[in-house]
Amino acid sequence: MLEQKEGSQAVAEAVARCRPEVICAYPISPQTHIVERLSDLVRVGKIDPCEFVSVESEFAAMSVAIGASATGARTYTATASQGLLFMVEALYNASGLGFPIVMTVANRAIGAPINIWNDHSDSMSQRDSGWIQLYAESNQEALDLHIQAYRLAEELSLPVMVCMDGFILTHAYEEVDVPGQDDVDSFLPPYEPRQVLDPSDPVTIGAMVGPEAFTEVKYLMHAKQMQALDSIPRIAEEFESAFGRPSGGLVRTYRADDAETIVVALGSVLGTIEDVVDELRDEGVKIGALAIKCFRPYPLGEVREALEDARRIVVLEKAFAVGAGGIVGQNVRLALSGMPARVYDVVAGLGGRSITKRSLHALFEDVLADRLESGRLHFLDLNSEIVQRELERAGKGRTGPHAENMLRDLGIVAARSH
Amino acid sequence: MFQVRIHGRGGQGAVTAAEMLSVAAFAEGRHAQAFPSFGSERTGAPVVSFCRIDDAPIRNREPIAAPDALIVQDPTLLHQVDVFGGLPTEGSVLINSGKDPEGLGLSDLMQRLPDGRVLTVPATELAREHLGRPLPNAILLGGFAAFTRVVSLDSVLTAIARRFDGPIGERNAAGARAAHDYVRSRTEATSLA
Amino acid sequence: MPYQEVKLYQAGTFVVGNRLLDPDQRSVQARSERSNTLTSGHRACQGCGEALGARYALDAAMRATGGQLIAANATGCLEVFSTPFPESSWQLPWIHSLFGNAPAVATGVAAALKVKGRPDIRVVGQGGDGGTVDIGFACLSGMFERNDDVLYVCYDNEAYMNTGVQRSGATPPGARTATTKPVGGTPGNEFGQGKNVPLIAMAHEIPYVATATVAELRDLEYKVERAMEFRGARYLHVFVPCPLGWGSASRDTIRIARLAKETGLFPVFEAEQGEVVGASKIRRAVPVEEYLKLQRRYAHLFGPDGHPNVIERLQKQADRNIRRFGLLASTEEGGELPGAK
């Protein structure tokens, strides 16, 4: 049924339709509306049977999820940013032990400095954790991906992280088609665990593995994730047949067939990018976009196929590897190795800074006019002046924290009186 | 596409207003998107929310830099925050105030915009009258419907009913109707002039 | 706590031979049908108090639950020595996740069982002192606060043994560990009194809290069975000597555990809903030196360069426990000796 809803509410409805048996979450902006709604739904019996466990930390949230999933319960949790980091030990434990937990990550910047707004530094920091990572472009897709995620997770016995941009999606009202319970039940059968704690058939889960077998165990993890490269498109196709709309998958191209320049991005910014692509196409520019929807496992073949005929690739990402460069950029270069296209690494939207059509137009114009250096990391809309001033200040005694100095320069923080 | 920017202070329901506006447009079968700009949530702090309405699906997610219409829920913001930034010459401004625009010190603004595009409506007073509380957000939407006609009063009332249950919903609806009539009588008067 | 009066024909023994007891009074360990939940072949040290305590506790729990039990274990000696890949000593469904999350994993298991409609299957969370009083403390407190249906058992050997005997929040004053060596004139672990988790558990007002040692098998078994009569959060703190970490003879494990109780250093008691309901009495309080001198981790307190003030402090602690918990059996008051009906 078509409804005008907040993104968080849409996700909560999707999760509810998946019949989770244990929900354990710790509140953190901007995920709070999701768990609040789920708490209500459990209380009034709309999700039944279900245990909603109010945990004391994100580390506890993922740990409770591990215990519940190990006992054969379909389990859900959600977090963001600092919370994701707080559960990292448990994240690796969940993937290492192969529990099909589904978690929403309401993408938010990681501190310090503390910042509650959107970027991808949180999920990107966990790209090697062994979790499957899916990125939603819209609230509809966020809703859809949770349903697909349980299918995927339980088929492969691997945990799945559904990433949706914090605030930009979670707190935005837009129309979503909320599927009916029967339709979801047909798509998502009850959870049949591959391993379960059951007194009638005792197993030991989580034993130590030494040098003689550890490599093999990790190889199998990798192999399993690579299987997802087949499972994900198949599940997306089945979803489209069942629910009548395309959603998920590994990648999606937009006007990229004859494009000489292709913009690569993840998440909600693709909407804005597509508007700019249309406007530039109207001016005769051969430009298109590539949405990476599944970042882990990395769809190297699909990325290569989408980009192989383009001359210029602009990777626009909301996180970066400090001291090294772009993250998605590096992954894209990997897909294009041996090919002549020029790749431009652009970081944008950090800590919630808006990515505007105007800035994108200016960026693409610079790229097309060869005014941008490929192979160097560019920061979109960087205030070079204040950065320069701060760099000059460094090394001159006790200069104080960078952030406060720059906020003062921007006039946000009042200067101290002397 | 029609883009609306709503300015208010934390606690006045500016975010809810944008959401309700999007629900009103949805009720008419159109596409709509509403979202806040997020500062640290604090009662009294300036808040901005956005709503886009279109017949085609909306993909753009940037904050609205060039609004077709502005709603200002709190007149104390007028000279404190850059409320009018990006407003084109054909833009419309609806301000919650019992004073007229000149009384609010907006003569310069009015000169920049064609006649009738800056209007005040005493929504807080109407709110006190109908709700018993100074919460003008839903009421202003009634006025907004009359002012811009981008959504109908009925759609606004539908959105209000969906958001607020029982008596609170009814009272907000009554206030929204009153604001609608107020604005309609003022705009008719102007266009007759 | 149940007692049966038995005539002792052997002087000087604390142990009642099974032949003197009614068959139905036999300990779980004495029964041929015991679960042997932690079966032989594990890699624990000779004389390991934790291996003993875990076997006692889990066999009792299995009996009390008809074998319908799931265990969540923290990282530590117990987990490591019981599951050397590819072998496992566990004869029940068992999961090891992380060091600090055993209580939370147990909570998750209990939640899942509730949803599945299996109230007959019970949950035990277990770990050493490190995983319980330090790194797992927040999860433990959360589990208590929510009153999750879990029995958590802490095997307390008073340091991080598996990583090489480093100090934990449970290490008592004066003890030598790898990070509290008596060098530079310091008397070993000079700060902290050992975090008192049983009292903290009681402060959470959970249904049942008890302490026990591996010296009193029946008492420990009784407490596990008693715990299983309750629903909700329960906590059992078991004192388990570690010959390697404490520098004691492996044959002295049970003796040391008994002395811990008899000196008053380790009060053995039960509490329900935050109030003490019973204590295991000491017939004749033993001076703390008797306990300390069996362990090389306290050797530096003695001798010409010793720290008699620390010994005195430990004695005061013991005396305080005796007073606080009413540990001394008193013949004047009558009817307080163990075994009195």
Distance from CA of C35 to the nearest CA of A (A): 12
Examine the pLDDT at A141 and tell me if it is beyond 50.
yes
Q: Does A356 touch chain B (CB under 8 A)?
A: yes
Contacts C80 to A, Cβ<8 Å: 208
* DSSP code, position C45: P
Contact C105 A50 (CB under 8 A): no
State the first-to-last Cα distance of chain A, in angstroms, to the nearest integer.
63
Mode of pairing for the β-strands spanning C151-156 and C94-96: unpaired
Q: What is the residue type of C72? A: A
C/B touch flag: 3 or more CB pairs below 8 Å: no
Q: What is the residue type of C201? A: A
Q: What is the mean pLDDT of chain A?
A: 95
Axis-axis angle for helices C137-146, A58-70 (nearest 10): 70
Contacts B65 to A, Cβ<8 Å: 356, 358
Optimal mutation site among A64, A74, A201, interface C, most CBs of chain C within 10 A? A64
Rounded to an integer, the average pLDDT of A299-304 is 98
Contact A57 C111 (CB under 8 A): no
Q: Structure tokens of A350?
A: 């950090």
Which pLDDT belongs to residue B41? 64
Q: Structure tokens of C157?
A: 């050997």
pLDDT one-digit tens code per residue, C70-119: 999 999 999 999 998 889 999 999 999 999 999 999 999 999 999 999 99
* DSSP code, position B160: H
State the first-to-last Cα distance of chain B, in angstroms, to the nearest integer.
30
Contact A174 B60 (CB under 8 A): no
The dihedral over CA atoms of A386, A387, A388, A393, expressed in degrees to the nearest 10, equals 90
Q: Does A260 touch chain B (CB under 8 A)?
A: no
Compute the distance between CA of residue B84 and CA of residue B94 in angstroms, rounded to an integer: 11
Q: Does A6 touch chain B (CB under 8 A)?
A: yes
Which pLDDT belongs to residue C18? 61
Contact B62 A352 (CB under 8 A): no
Q: Which residues of A touch C (CB under 8 A)?
A: 21-22, 24, 49-51, 53-57, 59-60, 63-73, 75, 89-90, 93, 97, 197-199, 201-210, 212-213
Rounded to an integer, the average pLDDT of A377-386 is 94
pLDDT one-digit tens code per residue, A5-40: 999 999 999 999 999 999 999 999 999 999 999 999
Q: What is the 3-state secondary structure (H, E, C) of chain A?
A: CEEEEEHHHHHHHHHHHCCCCEEEECCCCCCHHHHHHHHHHHHCCCCCCCEEEECCCHHHHHHHHHHHHHCCCCEEEEECHHHHHHCHHHHHHHHHHCCCCEEEEEECCCCCCCCCCCCCHHHHHCCCCCCEEEECCCHHHHHHHHHHHHHHHHHHCCCEEEEEECCCCCCCEEEEECCCHHHHHHHCCCCCCCCCCCCCCCCEECCECCCCCHHHHHHHHHHHHHHHHHHHHHHHHHHHHHHCCCCCCCEEEECCCCCCEEEEECCCHHHHHHHHHHHHHHCCCCEEEEEECEEECCCHHHHHHHHCCCCEEEEEECCCECCCECCHHHHHHHHCCCCCCEEEEEECCHHHCCCCHHHHHHHHHHHHCCCCCCCCEEECCCCHHHHHHHHHHCCCCCCCCHHHHHHHHCCCCCCCCC
Identify the band that residue C336 occupies on the pLDDT scale cut at 50, 70 and 90: very low
Examine the pLDDT at C338 and tell me if it is beyond 50.
no
Which pLDDT belongs to residue C12? 47
Residue C14 Cα distances to B97, B114, C256, angstroms: 90, 103, 14
Computed on alpha carbons and rounded to an integer, the radius of gyration of chain B in Å comes to 15
Examine the pLDDT at C11 and tell me if it is beyond 90.
no
Distance from CA of C157 to the nearest CA of A (A): 22
Contact C115 A22 (CB under 8 A): yes
Contact A67 C85 (CB under 8 A): no
pLDDT one-digit tens code per residue, B30-72: 999 999 987 656 788 899 999 999 999 999 999 999 999 999 9
Examine the pLDDT at B193 and tell me if it is beyond 50.
no
Distance from CA of A226 to the nearest CA of C (A): 25
Identify the band that residue C184 occupies on the pLDDT scale cut at 50, 70 and 90: confident
Contact C109 A204 (CB under 8 A): no
Contacts C91 to A, Cβ<8 Å: 202
Distance from CA of A206 to the nearest CA of C (A): 5
Instruction: Tally C-beta pairs within 8 A across A and B.
Output: 62
Beta-bridged to residue A160, according to DSSP, are A102, A132
Contacts A53 to C, Cβ<8 Å: 107-108, 111, 146, 148
Beta-bridged to residue A52, according to DSSP, are A23
In what helix (H) or strand (E) does residue B18 lie, and over which residues does it extend? helix B14-27
Q: Which of C79, C109, C145 is nearest residue A67 as measured by Cβ atoms? A: C109
Axis-axis angle for helices A139-156, A7-17 (nearest 10): 30
Neighbours of C327 (CB within 10 A): 22
Identify the band that residue C192 occupies on the pLDDT scale cut at 50, 70 and 90: low
Compute the distance between CA of residue A8 and CA of residue A170 in angstroms, rounded to an integer: 5
Contacts A212 to C, Cβ<8 Å: 85
Contacts C145 to A, Cβ<8 Å: 56
Mode of pairing for the β-strands spanning A173-177 and A204-205: unpaired
Among C243, C250, C237, C282, smallest CA distance to C263 is for C282
Contacts C110 to A, Cβ<8 Å: 67
Examine the pLDDT at C340 and tell me if it is beyond 80.
no
Identify the band that residue A159 occupies on the pLDDT scale cut at 50, 70 and 90: very high
Distance from CA of C75 to the nearest CA of A (A): 10
In what helix (H) or strand (E) does residue C292 lie, and over which residues does it extend? helix C288-292
- Position of tokens 């003695």? C302
Exposure string (b/e) for C161-174, b if CB count within 10 Å is 16 or more?
Answer: bbeebbbbbbbbbb
Which pLDDT belongs to residue B45? 87
DSSP characters over C307-327: -HHHHHHHHHHHHHHHHHHT-
Q: Structure tokens of A34?
A: 């999701």
Optimal mutation site among C58, C98, C134, C137, interface A, most CBs of chain A within 10 A? C98
- Lowest mean per-residue pLDDT among A31-40, A257-266, A346-355, B181-190: B181-190
Contacts A362 to B, Cβ<8 Å: none
| ipTM tops 0.90 | yes
Q: Structure tokens of B189?
A: 């008067």
Compute the distance between CA of residue C216 and CA of residue A373 in angstroms, rounded to an integer: 76
Compute the distance between CA of residue B4 and CA of residue B30 in angstroms, rounded to an integer: 15
For chain C, the chains sharing at least 3 beta-carbon pairs closer than 8 angstroms are A
Name the 3-class secondary structure at C213.
strand
Compute the distance between CA of residue C5 and CA of residue C338 in angstroms, rounded to an integer: 9
Q: What is the residue type of A43? A: R
Q: Which of A4, A172, A357 is nearest residue B62 as measured by Cβ atoms? A: A357
Compute the distance between CA of residue A190 and CA of residue A150 in angstroms, rounded to an integer: 10
Identify the band that residue A400 occupies on the pLDDT scale cut at 50, 70 and 90: confident
Q: Which residues of B touch A (CB under 8 A)?
A: 18-19, 22-23, 26-27, 31-36, 38, 40, 58-63, 65
Contacts B3 to A, Cβ<8 Å: none
Which pLDDT belongs to residue C187? 86
Contact B38 A116 (CB under 8 A): yes
Rounded to an integer, the average pLDDT of A207-224 is 94
Examine the pLDDT at C14 and tell me if it is beyond 70.
no
Compute the distance between CA of residue C109 and CA of residue C103 in angstroms, rounded to an integer: 10
pLDDT one-digit tens code per residue, B5-33: 999 998 899 999 999 999 999 999 999 99
- CA angle C233/C237/C240 to nearest 5° reads 150
Give the contacts of B149 (CB within 8 A, at least 6 positions apart). none
**CB contact at 8 A, C144 and A102:** no
Residue C108 Cα distances to A26, A149, C139, angstroms: 14, 21, 12
Rounded to an integer, the average pLDDT of A263-284 is 98
Contact A171 B38 (CB under 8 A): yes
Contact A171 B36 (CB under 8 A): yes
**CB contact at 8 A, C280 and C213:** no
Compute the distance between CA of residue C283 and CA of residue C337 in angstroms, rounded to an integer: 7
Name the 3-class secondary structure at C228.
coil
Which pLDDT belongs to residue C190? 77
Compute the distance between CA of residue C277 and CA of residue B115 in angstroms, rounded to an integer: 84
Q: Structure tokens of A74?
A: 């379909």
Contacts C141 to A, Cβ<8 Å: 56
Contact B31 A175 (CB under 8 A): yes
Contacts B151 to A, Cβ<8 Å: none
Contacts B61 to A, Cβ<8 Å: 168, 172, 268-269, 271-272
Which pLDDT belongs to residue C159? 94
Contact C117 A198 (CB under 8 A): no
- Position of tokens 């029946």? C218
Which pLDDT belongs to residue C256? 98
- Cα C69–chain centre separation: 20
**CB contact at 8 A, C188 and C181:** yes
pLDDT one-digit tens code per residue, B73-98: 999 999 888 999 999 988 999 999 99
pLDDT one-digit tens code per residue, A308-322: 999 999 999 999 999
> What chain C residue is nearest to A200 in terms of C-alpha separation?
C68
Contact C116 A67 (CB under 8 A): no
Contacts C146 to A, Cβ<8 Å: 53-54
* DSSP code, position C43: -
Distance from CA of B67 to the nearest CA of A (A): 14
Which pLDDT belongs to residue C334? 43
Name the 3-class secondary structure at B105.
coil
Among C9, C277, C322, C331, smallest CA distance to C340 is for C331
Q: What is the mean pLDDT of chain B?
A: 92
> What chain A residue is nearest to B25 in terms of C-alpha separation?
A4
Contact B62 A356 (CB under 8 A): yes
Contact C101 A66 (CB under 8 A): yes
Examine the pLDDT at B131 and tell me if it is beyond 90.
yes
- Position of tokens 């250096």? A373
Q: Does A355 touch chain B (CB under 8 A)?
A: yes
Give the contacts of A331 (CB within 8 A, at least 6 positions apart). A295, A298, A303
Q: Is C117 left (phi over 0), alpha (psi -120 to 50) or beta?
A: left
